A and B are shown apart, each in its own frame.
Chain A
Amino acid sequence: MTQATLTQASAKPRSASGAIYVVHRVAILLAFAAIFYPGFNPGRITTAINRNVSLFTASISYNSLVSELQRPLARGWVQSSTFVLVMVSSIVLILGIVLCGIGGCMSVGNNRMQRKGLLFSFGGSVVMGGGLIGIYIAYSQIVAAANDRVPANFSGGYWLYAVLTAAICVTSLVLMATDRKKAETLEPKMEMHERYKIFLLFLPILAVSFVFSYLPLWGWRYAFFDYKAGGELTMENFVGFKWFTYLFESEATRSDIFRVIKNTLGLSAIGIATSWLPMAFAMFLTQVPSKRFRRVVQTFTTVPNFLGWVIIYAVALAIFSTDGFVNNFLNNILGIAADTNYLMDSSHMWLKMWLWGTWKGLGWSAIIYISSISGIDPVLYEAAEVDGAGRFQKMWNVTVPQLLPTFFVMLLMSIANVLSNGMEQYLVFSNAVNKQAIEVLDLYVYNLGIVNGQIPMSTMVGMCKSIISVALLFIANTASKKLRGESIV
């Protein structure tokens, strides 16, 4: 019985109204998404409005809206009432979109719910229209003011919203008109199929994920433009792969990028070459007879992993700087005069960085192996003992093979992450002396883009890094499947 209703519901006959519903929902979804995107802000009635203000920002923060209009407002070139109107209209527009959103959600319910939902959508589109009219009035005020410094701008977002509003309005009207079902034939209650109900509950989570993980990909286009902070992306400053070739043609950037790649790969290589250390740590620690001793060691060696790199740097200062522990110890305990600042030294930087990383992370990385060891069947050890194996033979012939699968996964992951050393460690430890030796790719991108403001170039570098990393992960995963019949992601 239930099964029958389910199939009936999922195999709803595809009709013309079904297609219109799809258009209706897509229009609502687009209207919703564009709220957060500054490029589609219909309220950017003058190019003097900050180009990073989205419809959403405009509706919640008047200060952001007029952030670049202080002078025109103070001089009276434009009236603040115009921008208050823009803000109020933005709020009205968003309110309309929310109403449409409710209608859109209800459109996946049963017939009775759909009918109610269409009312919401229609009402919402009317409210949206009101918001758009408000923005148009503000726009005509700017046109009337006719001031060169506050040039009027009929934004692309306005067209987008005008089209979407019309689409929502028309589709909801058409659907209402074609709905010939009599009220008596409708279901007694508003209901929605479970599959859509759960999906709608999940939708906000997908939306947040989309905005913060997928939307940034759209920012890759900056890599192909000659963009300066605050400027525009137009076809005139489209430069194609100029930044990519520039990276290797210009003498200065070429030596920079090769140095940075060398650092990145060098540090990663040291990490990979010593990735057996946590396993050895775990194997030898489990050989200690006293459980309490093992517990204490584990607690104290894992704590540093949970402290940020700034704190590690504070520790480094306290121990190795001119007035730090090492010099104090030499001066006060051993009586040797010393005042070296060990942090202002550029020798063996990769090794030192590796040591700090190991000091911080070794105990923690070992935990996974310690747990694996505790899961090994004691029968295996007993059998080895019967065969006359000693301590080291048991470790080598029983424990190691049991830990290898875990080790293999860890190794593949670190190979896939060969370009991502993270930036915090190298940022906090870098100073004038050692900067050259520890600038890794992540830090280079940060320095180039955020500190020096070279957006296109740093985006290009970051983009290449992301693409190569994904490719590496894919290769590592394929290798894992081939060798062990199991994927790692």
Chain B
Amino acid sequence: MAKKQGSSGMKYRQTAGNMVFNVINITIFTLFTIICFFPFYYLFINTISDNALVGANMITLIPKGIHFDNYVALRGVQDFGNSVMVTVSRTILGTTLMVLCSAFAGYLTTKRQMWNRSFWYRALVITMYFNAGTIPWYLNMLGLGLTDNYLGYIIPGIVAPYNIILVKTYIESIPASLEESATIDGASVLQVFTKIILPLSKPILATIAIFGAVGNWNSLQDSLILMSNSPGLYTMQHRLWVYLNSSSNLQAAMTMGTAAATVNNKVIKYTISMVTIIPIMLVYPFMQRYFEEGIMLGAVKG
């Protein structure tokens, strides 16, 4: 599929007009790519340059006096460490449960024998298109005791209708004969699910897992609304936001670490930002395929 991509662009003779077009086209894309990439580069060189120079706003395009003490010094920022734990654990736990649930639910909804299948399936899918609003949702969570409670991050995310649709569509493309032969051999619904469906639907599960993980990693809103009385349960993004908006918090938090003396507010803000960015930057190029497949699957279903 990807091979065909360039076919329409390759066939032009190198006339002057085409040269001009190509130069302008490539220049614009190069510029946009630099605009997309440069801010992260700028943040990064400021975290690894000499802190005194950073403090004096002297680092603009190239790093000077490279060191990595700032990343080491982050150990001293206690509540950031806390929020990293919250985010990492919810990313792992929340994503795993969501994927398992979506796989199972997606499989069950492909079974035509299910009692009133289309009704229940519609009841599930329709929840994608309406919501009661932030406040009723919050009051509901309050009533369920899921505010200021770590489970408030995990349980609501388990059932994700959109992902269930994706898995269902994928499983429907698996030849039915595989499942039938297993059923004839006496396999139960659960056995068919674990032995046949799960291994065969790995690609789609990888796709929804990666989207789920990114969503958990970037979560801000639920932390903001649900955990207002429990700073210990703030997610990383929420904590970063608090830091970005205050100047006093960090210096108070920076009590130890050898680099602490030279660390300033600006550097530590940049470093914390980088810590939340780097994992995505590292993972993304390897997972890009799954991301792109994900959006296409969504488009097919509409």
Q: Which of B123, B129, B132 contacts A219 (CB 8 A)?
A: B132
B252 within 8 A of A: no
Q: Which of B18, B57, B266, B291 contacts A391 (CB 8 A)?
A: B18
Instruction: For A255, list chain B residues within 8 Å (CB).
Output: none
Alpha-carbon distance A317/B35, docked complex (angstroms): 15
**Main DSSP-derived SS at the B contact region:** helix
Q: Which B residue's beta carbon lies closest to that of A465? A: B133
Q: Which of B1-35 contact A (CB under 8 A)?
A: 1-2, 4-12, 18, 21-22, 25-26, 28-30, 32-33, 35
B189 with A197: CB separation less than 8 A: yes
B144 with A211: CB separation less than 8 A: yes
Alpha-carbon distance A436/B123, docked complex (angstroms): 39
Number of residues in A with C-beta < 8 Å to the partner?
A: 116
A411 within 8 A of B: no
B33 with A296: CB separation less than 8 A: yes
A201 within 8 A of B: yes
A304-347, CB under 8 A of B: which get 1 and which 0? 10111111011101110001010111011100000000000000
**Given A310-B241, A310-B244, A473-B129, CB of A319 within 8 Å of CB of B114:** no
Alpha-carbon distance A427/B225, docked complex (angstroms): 13
How close is B168's CB to chain A, nearest CB, in angstroms?
12
Alpha-carbon distance A488/B300, docked complex (angstroms): 11
Q: Which of B182-203 contact A (CB under 8 A)?
A: 189
B276 with A455: CB separation less than 8 A: no
Q: Which B residue's beta carbon lies closest to that of A219? A: B136
A391 with B12: CB separation less than 8 A: yes
A288 with B61: CB separation less than 8 A: no
How close is B138's CB to chain A, nearest CB, in angstroms?
7
How close is B263's CB to chain A, nearest CB, in angstroms?
15
**Given A199-B115, A363-B36, CB of A449 within 8 Å of CB of B105:** no
B105 with A311: CB separation less than 8 A: no
Most chain-A CB neighbours within 10 Å: which of B26, B60, B136, B269?
A: B136
B27-53, CB under 8 A of A: which get 1 and which 0? 011101101110110110010000000
Q: Which of B121-154 contact A (CB under 8 A)?
A: 123-124, 127, 129-140, 142-145
Most chain-B CB neighbours within 10 Å: which of A300, A314, A449?
A: A314
Q: Which A residue's beta carbon lies closest to that of B9? A: A287
Q: Which A residue's beta carbon lies closest to that of B157? A: A212
Alpha-carbon distance A212/B138, docked complex (angstroms): 10
Instruction: For B129, list chain A residues within 8 Å (CB).
Output: 470, 473, 489
**Given A56-B145, A378-B7, CB of A288 within 8 Å of CB of B29:** yes
Instruction: For B101, list chain A residues within 8 Å (CB).
Output: 205
B71-79, B254-262, B278-286 - interface stretch: B278-286
**Given A198-B111, A300-B37, A381-B8, CB of A306 within 8 Å of CB of B295:** no
Alpha-carbon distance A299/B215, docked complex (angstroms): 19
Instruction: For B246, list chain A residues within 8 Å (CB).
Output: none
B105 with A333: CB separation less than 8 A: no
A306 with B29: CB separation less than 8 A: no
B26 with A293: CB separation less than 8 A: yes
Q: Which of B30, B42, B217, B269 contacts A319 (CB 8 A)?
A: B42
B177 within 8 A of A: no
Instruction: For A489, list chain B residues within 8 Å (CB).
Output: 129, 302
B6 with A286: CB separation less than 8 A: yes
Q: Which B residue's beta carbon lies closest to that of A308? A: B218
A315 with B39: CB separation less than 8 A: yes
Number of residues in B with C-beta < 8 Å to the partner?
A: 101
A469 within 8 A of B: yes
How close is A27's CB to chain B, nearest CB, in angstroms?
19
B173 within 8 A of A: no
A446 with B225: CB separation less than 8 A: yes
B95 within 8 A of A: no
A461-486, CB under 8 A of B: which get 1 and which 0? 01101100110010000000000001
B230 within 8 A of A: no
Alpha-carbon distance A362/B161, docked complex (angstroms): 26
Q: Which of A222, A329, A359 contacts B135 (CB 8 A)?
A: A222
A436-471, CB under 8 A of B: which get 1 and which 0? 000000100110011000010011001101100110
New contact pairs (17) apart from A205-B105, A216-B139, A297-B30, CB-CB < 8 Å: A36-B144, A54-B145, A57-B144, A202-B114, A208-B158, A216-B131, A284-B29, A288-B26, A299-B285, A310-B220, A317-B244, A318-B46, A328-B59, A367-B292, A374-B5, A423-B221, A466-B131
Question: Footprint of A on B, CB under 8 Å?
Answer: 1-2, 4-12, 18, 21-22, 25-26, 28-30, 32-33, 35-37, 39-40, 42-43, 46, 57-61, 101, 104-105, 108-109, 111, 113-116, 120, 123-124, 127, 129-140, 142-145, 155-156, 158-159, 161, 189, 214, 217-221, 224-225, 228, 237-238, 240-241, 244, 266, 269-270, 273, 276-277, 280-281, 284-285, 288, 291-292, 295-296, 299, 302
Report the 3 A-B pairs with minimum CB-CB distance, sorted nearest first.
Answer: A462-B133, A219-B136, A308-B218
